[in-house]
Every structure is written in C-alpha cells, then in structure tokens.
Amino acid sequence: MDSLSLLFGSEEKVKIMRLFLFNPGQAFGLTDIANRAQVRTARVKKETKLLSKTGLIVPKGVLRITESKKGKKIKIRKKKEKGWALAEDFPYYSHLRDLLLRTVLFDSEDVLKRLKRAGRIKLLILSGVFIQETESRVDLLIVGDGLKQGVLERVIRSIEAEIGKELRYASFETPDFRYRWGMYDKLVRDILDFPHKKVVDKIGVASEKR
C-alpha cells in the first residue's frame, strides 16, 4: 500500500477520489464508478457513503441508457438512477486535486512494463497528466511493431482506473509513425515539439533532422 492509500485509508478510496476530482461537473452512477475505477460494487457503496459524509461528493441523478435486441429490433431503455458528482464548492477541492495530480501512481518504467504486453515498443513518450502539462495534446504516444490493440486498450483502461481520468493517447505501428513524422504530421509535431518525456526511443526521433 502506498503512502496515499495509508493516508486516505485505502487504495480504492484514492481511485474513487481521483475519478471525481479529475472529472468535475460529471455525475457517475454506481456501475460507472465500479467500472471506471475497477473497484468492486460493494466497496464503491461503502466509499461513496463515506465521501458523501465529508461533503466531497453530492448525490446527483444520472440517466442510464441500455439497449436490448430482439430479432432485428433494438429497444432503447432510459432509466434515472442515483449517482454522485463532485461538490465543486468543497473547501479543500483545489488542494486535494493538486495533491492527487502531483502524485500520479505510475512512474515511466511502470508504464513501459505494462505496455510491453501490447507489442514491441519502439517509442514511448509521456506527456499531459504524467508530467502535469494540462495543455498537452496527448498523455501517451506509443509506437511499436505488432501492436495488439485489444491488449493496448486493456492496459490503458487499467492505468485510467488508477489515475482517475481518461487518457488521451495515440498509437502507431513504426512504419506509419515514420511516414507521419517525415510528412510533418501536426499531431506528431505537436507532441514532439512541446514538453514531454521520452521513456523509449529506438527510432531516434531526437536525432532526426526535420
């Protein structure tokens, strides 16, 4: 258990707090919180009850839309259910948000270790939330050979659950990235020309002439 988990009582509580603090103005139902934070539903009930008592989150209805298919017909159902949202007038909101933003749980080697499951990583760049640059185009740039998109998405979802916010990321196979880099692709240029941290660079973008 890390120091934040010890300070706030549990890893699950930290993950749920991050979810609300990094998504102000958005309401989440029980299922949403469990899925986004990857925390068991029973634990979500307990932690949201405690956080509600502190005044950090407040009850707010959410609209759940589900689809069911019967033959060729698709039936859409809308149901309002209980949810919670961040209380933006919470007196310690900005302090808590800054604390949890500056203590992102993943270091660069941890991110790399997880992403290696998705393929042979040739270039990995961290930006955005990982270096506290809120204006960055993406949080992650991943370039590799034989990237398995399904595995990559699962890894990204697991990181999101612990960080508490959706990650903006771009992934390319190595030939596609080289082509885009050579053609001065705007997205690639924006990532490389602005603050970032290179974790892996087997392509040598730092030494390439543009």
Q: List pLDDT tens digits, range 75-107.
A: 777 788 899 999 989 998 888 888 887 766 567
CB 85 within 8 A of CB 57: yes
- The per-residue pLDDT for 96 is 87
pLDDT beyond 50 at 209: no
CB 13 within 8 A of CB 96: no
Q: Collapsing DSSP states into helix, strand and coil, what is residue 127?
A: coil
Mean pLDDT (whole number) for 145-161? 93
Q: Is the dihedral of CA 178, 179, 185, 187 positive or negative?
A: negative
Q: Collapsing DSSP states into helix, strand and coil, what is residue 26?
A: coil
Q: Collapsing DSSP states into helix, strand and coil, what is residue 37?
A: helix
Gap between the Cα atoms of 180 and 175, Å rounded: 9
- The per-residue pLDDT for 26 is 92
CB 197 within 8 A of CB 130: yes
pLDDT beyond 80 at 185: yes
Residue 28: pLDDT band by 50, 70, 90 thresholds?
very high
Mean pLDDT (whole number) for 107-127? 92
- The per-residue pLDDT for 1 is 47
Q: Which of 105-109, 119-123, 131-135, 150-154 has the lowest mean pLDDT?
A: 105-109
Q: Per-domain residue ranges for the chain? A: 3-101, 108-201
Contacts of 74 (CB under 8 A, 6+ apart): 67, 68
Q: Is the dihedral of CA 53, 57, 63, 67 positive or negative?
A: negative
Share of the chain above pLDDT 90, in %: 52
According to CATH, what is the number of the domain 3-101?
1.10.10.10
Residue 131: pLDDT band by 50, 70, 90 thresholds?
confident
What are the backbone dihedrals phi and psi of residue 84, each rounded to the nearest 5 degrees, phi first? -140, 155
- The per-residue pLDDT for 7 is 64
- Both structure tokens of 94: 């900005």
Mean pLDDT (whole number) for 2-18? 78
Length of the chain: 210
pLDDT beyond 60 at 207: no
Mean pLDDT (whole number) for 122-146? 90
- The per-residue pLDDT for 72 is 73
pLDDT beyond 70 at 114: yes
Gap between the Cα atoms of 117 and 49, Å rounded: 37
- The per-residue pLDDT for 206 is 67
- Both structure tokens of 114: 């997880």
Mean pLDDT (whole number) for 1-10? 66
- The per-residue pLDDT for 22 is 87
- The per-residue pLDDT for 6 is 61
Strand order in the sheet with 28-29: 28-29, 83-86, 57-59
